[in-house]
Structure 1
Amino acid sequence: MAARTIAPPSSQNEALPMITTLAFSAFVAFSCGWIGMRAVREHRDALAERRGLLDDAAKLLRNARIAFGPDQFPVLVGEISDGRRAKIELIADTMVTRRLPQLWLRVTLSETRECMRPTIGALARPTGAEYYSLVHDMPEWMSPPETDASLLMRGDGRATAWQIERGSALFKSLFADPRVKEAVITARGTRIIRQAAQGEPGAHKVLRQVRFPLTSIPTELVGLAIAEAGALSALLVDDDIVAPVYEAA
């Protein structure tokens, strides 16, 4: 019986797996390059968009001036109707990993003179990662008013019982709005921090970018924050209290 002869595989069949591997590698490299280029382009576009976020809000202030931080978020400074200085800032908060990035609107209203009043403030939903917060630096803990959200209330230890009661009542009203993050009263001014926007889920989860779905901060939101800072300023009348060391500005 004649032995069967097995023909060797053709060179064409041997090349197919190699060609497939090379094609797949080229596709992966192209896809990664395209994603990288897109991420860089979108990041540049996002930085450019940030610069105009407070252009409309500038119309609310006299002698308004806009500068830009290293992250290209604008900083607006001007005067309200009574001549007091208002500083409006935007803070991108990415410190809490299991939450979408937050864009905070921070409004600081400076007094024309240093007031003889204590420092007192409240922070909603504290995590300890609020690097922008003044409340974390205040030494004395206080019992906060009951609100739907957890509230941290602290001061410099100089407030009277009457002032604490007044502050608690206003904080309870302010923090009924879940978009309010922090409210502070100091001798030199007041501050309110509100949520302006929340990051886009796709950009954050896929590309790890911080993008917010807005091209301008609504003037209504800025006006509301300025009014709330004014309400904080009018809350505590002058008293025979040594001026605290914490500043709102």
Structure 2
Amino acid sequence: MSELMSALLTGAIALAVVFHLAWLARASRNKAKAALAAEEASIHAVIPDAIDVSDGTAGVATWAGSWNGERAQVRTIVDTLATRKLPARWLSVSITEPVAVPGIFDMMMRPGSPTTFSNFDHLEHTLPKATDLPAEAVLRTDRRGVAFPQDVIAAHAGVFAEGRAKELLITPKGVRIVWLLAQADRARYGVFRQAAFGDARLDPALLEELLAAASSIRHAINQRERQAA
């Protein structure tokens, strides 16, 4: 083969590789757009007035609106911290209305490594735990010596009987529940270091369930406080 033919063949191969990579990138963008559109449709099915209020943080999408007359926020978070065995995709659901609590109450299930969605590791005080809360839970607060109505919280935290519920955060400004949507495909992450979550989608029924749980916790705490007053 002449040097000219060899050069032409090398150039053709390089051009084919460039076109293939461009096609893969375009296909990936189209797939991401379709997934985002499906996710927005799921959120609007439950929170019709939800608007995208994301701040541009990589891997984080945030919507805000109203649910049953209460302000609500929905956030999806891709957690790729090196301390995790596999990247995870979390769903954070919040009712952002006042709660009658004296500080931060943070219940984390099976805390073992830092997370990108919580300040649990920065809370200084561990709370004694009521026996009717999950055995795998650890409770922390920002204030020493405060008491929270753990019996009320436990009575309305049934979603934490399922293994995918990760965190319950209660502050004077609202209630948040964090749920594990999916973990990255082990084989693909092990070979390509890509956080691919397959066909995991945001189910409107799950979103409704978590909003209802957060709302019921808030209302139960506020009702207890009114009765005590």
Output the TM-score relative to the length of structure 1.
0.69
Q: 1:195 aligns with which of 174, 177, 180?
A: 180
Tell me, what secondary structure is at the counterpart of 2:41? coil
2:225 corresponding residue in structure 1: 238
Q: Is the 8 A contact 2:91 2:181 kept in 1?
A: yes
1:140 corresponding residue in structure 2: 125
Structure 2 residue 80 is matched with structure 1 residue 90: no
Q: Which residue identity lines up with residue 139 of structure 1 in the other structure? A: E
2:40 corresponding residue in structure 1: 54
Q: Is the 8 A contact 2:62 2:73 kept in 1?
A: yes
Residues 30-78 of structure 1 show CA distances to partners (whole Å, capped at 9, x for unaligned) of: 9987996676456434532442223222121242212445336542211
Separation (CA, whole Å) in 2 of partners of 1:51 and 1:207: 23
Unaligned runs of 5+ in 1: 1-24, 240-249
Q: Is the 8 A contact 2:165 2:178 kept in 1?
A: yes
Q: Which residue identity lines up with residue 79 of structure 1 in the other structure? A: S
- How many residue pairs are counted as aligned between the two chains? 217
Separation (CA, whole Å) in 2 of partners of 1:99 and 1:38: 31
Separation (CA, whole Å) in 2 of partners of 1:138 and 1:155: 6
Q: Is the 8 A contact 1:54 1:216 kept in 2?
A: no
Shift of 1:138: 2.6
Residues 7-33 of structure 1 show CA distances to partners (whole Å, capped at 9, x for unaligned) of: xxxxxxxxxxxxxxxxxx99xx89987
Dislocated runs of 4+, deviation >6 Å:
29-35
Identity, in percent, stands at 21
Shift of 1:218: 0.8
Q: 1:99 aligns with which of 85, 105, 108?
A: 85
Residues 76-115 of structure 1 show CA distances to partners (whole Å, capped at 9, x for unaligned) of: 211011x21100000011215553321111011111x463
Residues 143-178 of structure 1 show CA distances to partners (whole Å, capped at 9, x for unaligned) of: 345646x32211233533x6244445655x442210
Looking at secondary structure, tell me which structure has more helix per residue: 2
1:184 corresponding residue in structure 2: 169
Shift of 1:207: 2.3
Alignment of 1:162-181 (within 5 A): 163-167=149-153, 170=156, 173-181=158-166
Unaligned runs of 5+ in 2: 1-9
Question: CA RMSD of the aligned region, Å?
Answer: 3.7
1:79 corresponding residue in structure 2: 66
Separation (CA, whole Å) in 1 of partners of 2:21 and 2:105: 47
Q: Is the 8 A contact 1:120 1:167 kept in 2?
A: no
Structure 2 residue 159 is matched with structure 1 residue 152: no
Output the TM-score relative to the length of structure 2.
0.74
Q: Which residue identity lines up with residue 126 of structure 2 in the other structure? A: W
Cα 1:90/1:143, change in 2 over 3 Å: same
Which structure has the greater CA radius of gyration? 1
Structure 2 residue 106 is matched with structure 1 residue 121: yes
